[in-house]
Structure 1
Amino acid sequence: MRHSFILPVLLSLVACDALPRDPGGTSTRIEQTRSFSVALADPSVRSAPEVGKLIREIERRTNAHPQWRAGLGEKLLQQLDHGSLDLLIGRFTADSPWATAVAFGPALSSSGPKDAPIELKAAMRNGENRWIMTVERASRAISTEARNQ
């Protein structure tokens, strides 16, 4: 009787290791290829120190290297939504029309008025929860580092 209880518990613990999941396989692909695709919604954000810090932190957490892609705004958001781009970094407002189509990470920095800030942050494909969690943790790590300096 005791063994019949232990086996399901062990199986469920093993299954938990795969959570959260990426239905599109983003994290698995990044682990296998050791690269992730990234673009800037606006080339001017390249000079923001938070961008380099975020990329380095994601590299550290994934053992993968960025593959930079060129493009601008709307087209890049479409690529992100379709899964042909892993990460988009840019300045976004809270009322961005893409707020329901993509997952935004925590703000790396913000500017503008407090009631309508423009936030520098990463965007990921909705539903790729393991990848989103990785980027969110990396974003929080560098945001915390900046506040402590």
Structure 2
Amino acid sequence: MAAALAGCGVQVPTDPNGTLNRIQGGVLRAGASVDAGLVDVDDSAVSGPLPDLVNAFADRFDADVEWTVGSEESLVTALENGSLDIVVGGITAETPWADRAGVTRGYRNIPGAGGREIVLLVPLGENRLLSELELVLDEELSP
């Protein structure tokens, strides 16, 4: 089946809503929930280890990052309605949002995580985006 799909030009995994294609050379709409040591906000500047990872991902696809700051709940709702492409914060592998968002593998070696297994969120079903994000996270966080 994979060979048949490859012959048709279908990329696996896919993004039903075309998120990764849209951000290439465009804008990555990122949501940030403040978590000391991982995500800091000073006026309109979003910084910290997780925003640095988002910026590295955006750089890979020649995208600018547009930040929205809010609570986890408001940011997950924005993922669901298509207003955001990625959400970061002190979200752990035990996240209650797993039924409402795509969740990366957990990463324990993020500076500022204090040993917590941190995950990032993307829109549910955008599997190509999720796969490419995990590739970048693996590269950026490798020892």
**Structure 1 residues 59 and 95: alpha-carbon distance in aligned structure 2, compared to 1, 3 A threshold:** closer
Provide the TM-score with structure 2 as the length reference.
Answer: 0.76
Tell me if the contact between 2:53 and 2:137 (Cα under 8 Å) persists in the aligned partners. Answer: yes
Tell me if the contact between 1:105 and 1:139 (Cα under 8 Å) persists in the aligned partners. Answer: no
Tell me if the contact between 1:24 and 1:83 (Cα under 8 Å) persists in the aligned partners. Answer: no
- Report the equivalent of 1:61: 60
Choose the corresponding residue for 2:114, options 111, 116, 135.
111
Correspondences of 1:29-48 after superposition (within 5 Å): 29-31=22-24, 34-42=26-34, 44=36, 45-47=38-40
**Structure 1 residues 77 and 16: alpha-carbon distance in aligned structure 2, compared to 1, 3 A threshold:** same
- Report the equivalent of 2:131: 133
**Structure 2 unmatched ranges of 5 or more:** 41-46
Choose between structure 1 and 2: higher helix proportion: 1
CA distance in 1, matches of 2:51, 2:90: 15
**Structure 1 unmatched ranges of 5 or more:** 1-9, 113-117
CA distance in 1, matches of 2:93, 2:128: 23
Of structures 1 and 2, the larger Rg is shown by: 1
Provide Cα deviations, 1:46-93, integer angstroms capped at 9, x if missing partner.
Answer: 247422431232123211111111222211111112221101011123
**Structure 1 residues 59 and 93: alpha-carbon distance in aligned structure 2, compared to 1, 3 A threshold:** closer
**Please, what is the CA RMSD of the aligned residues?**
2.6
Structure 1, 52-61 or 11-20: larger mean CA deviation? 11-20
Q: Percent identity?
A: 25
Provide the TM-score with structure 1 as the length reference.
Answer: 0.73
Provide Cα deviations, 1:90-114, integer angstroms capped at 9, x if missing partner.
Answer: 11233321122212223253435xx
**Structure 1 residues 18 and 51: alpha-carbon distance in aligned structure 2, compared to 1, 3 A threshold:** same
